[in-house]
Amino acid sequence: MWRMPLFAGYRRLLDSKVADINNAPGVRASAAPSPRRSISKEFVPDDVPWAHFDMMAWNNTSRPGRPEGGEAQVARAIFAAIEKRIRKSVIR
């Protein structure tokens, strides 16, 4: 997990001729910041902290100890990060 910048220049790529916002702009990007990751900002007031997680919680093939199907590894990592942050804020 890392703090990803939201580039204002990507906002125009979310514009749509038929909808309020385009959640699937025709721009290819993998790990680079992209307009798709900026879409959450459109629904959250500026004074509210928020987070967006892209995850694939599914195993396509079986492996030892990890059968095909739903996978909770990413969910466990997110929970651990939130728990750590909460503990820090409570201890202060």
d(CA 63, CA 74): 17
Q: Which residues contact 16 (CB under 8 A, 6 or more apart)?
A: 22
Mean pLDDT of 28-35: 54
Tens of pLDDT, residues 55-90: 777 788 888 888 888 887 778 888 898 899 888 877
Mean pLDDT of 47-61: 79
Q: Is 80 exceeded by the pLDDT of residue 38?
A: no
Could you identify the residue written with the tokens 């201890």?
Answer: 91
Tens of pLDDT, residues 1-22: 667 777 777 778 788 888 888 7
Domain ranges (residues) in the chain: 1-44, 55-92
d(CA 48, CA 44): 7
This prediction's pTM: 0.49
